[in-house]
Amino acid sequence: MLKSLHIGRYVIKPEDLRALASFLEAIGFQQVSEGDGRSAIFSAPVGLLSVNALPSEYPQQVLDHLKDVNRLIVLEVSNPDDVFEIAKKKKLKVLADSVSPKTGERSFSLALPGDIIVTVHGKPDELPEGMEGNLKAEGKRFAIVVSRFNAFITERLLQGALDALRRTGARRQDIEIMRVPGSFELPSAARMLASRGNYDAVICLGCLLRGETAHYDVIVNECARGIGQSGQDTGVPHAFGVLTCDTLEQAIDRAGLKMGNKGFEAALAAVEMANLKSVVNRQSSVDRQAAAGSRASGVGKKKGVAQTSRRKRSSRSRKG
């Protein structure tokens, strides 16, 4: 019985084949055979054989091109807008382009090299909703650990972090600042604060500049590892606001000049993660209550069955 389906399309010029292969690979086809320079075999996640009558409302330009229907390739995609942009970059001719007012599905036809027509249709996949934290710092407490080494940079990061916390609603009395000698001391200080259980998130700020020895690499690795480990062990979110730059100019750019302020960004991350933790805890509480209710309901049903059984036995005993 049927084992596979192979439908070929043929071009005359080798350059047309290369252009076709480039476009197909760009939109997600997998090349399964290298060929000999005159052929290429591609696979798609799903292959279908479709037999159709062309609708009369097709644009005449498309109908003219489809007199020889063997030239047509129909592709369904999950990101038609991205495919359209790829086609534009490759300077492919667009024959038709429309969006369904009912379904929101986009459909467009392209003229490919080798006199091949491809019709692309689809609509973006709807992503499932997920849990996330908002950027509201009201009622949250934050600790900021900042390195004194390279204070010219780290104090700017601190100002950026404080600005972000204030903008998101944190009160001054809900923010505690701890200064340490350098970035190497950030992890231990962050763990001290997180272990107290008084803070919803810890923000770590520092600046490391590459020197002529391996000292920079050692400190960077230990700093990043330690901060991450502290967050995982304590369960308190840690925001990483430590600059690791090759030059002072790069650090200045990231402390409020050309590249924004990484202290500001770290504080926003801390606020979001603190709220995300609250969301997860609430969801876990709801799940536990639902599970407890289910177990209680099961126990109640078992008790009811047992009581009914005892009443029946007692009734039979009296009759006897």
Can you give the length of the chain in residues? 320
**The pLDDT value given to residue 239:** 97
Q: Given 3-state DSSP classes, what are the helix, strand and coil percentages for the chain, each rounded to the nearest 5?
A: 45, 20, 30
**The pLDDT value given to residue 117:** 84
d(CA 1, CA 242): 64
Q: How many CA atoms lie within 13 A of 52 on its CB side?
A: 12
Nearest to 144 by CA among 191, 223, 201: 201
For residue 223, which amino acid is it?
C
**The pLDDT value given to residue 151:** 94
**The pLDDT value given to residue 177:** 97
**The pLDDT value given to residue 16:** 81
Q: At what angle do helices 80-89 and 14-26 cross, to 10 degrees?
A: 150
Beta bridge partners of 98: 107
Which stretches of the chain drop beneath a pLDDT of 50? none
**The pLDDT value given to residue 128:** 75
Nearest to 141 by CA among 275, 247, 288: 275
**The pLDDT value given to residue 192:** 96
Q: Using an 8 Å Cβ cutoff, are 217 and 253 in contact?
A: no
Tokens for 263, please give them. 């202290």
Give, rounded to a whole angstrom, the gap between the first and last alpha carbons of the chain: 71
**The pLDDT value given to residue 249:** 94
**The pLDDT value given to residue 218:** 92
**The pLDDT value given to residue 188:** 96
> One of 65, 121, 215, 238 is an active-site residue; which one?
215
| H or E element at residue 177 | strand 175-180
d(CA 187, CA 190): 5
d(CA 101, CA 255): 47
Could you tell me the maximum CA-CA distance found in the chain, to the nearest angstrom? 101
Active site residue 215: yes
pTM of the model: 0.60
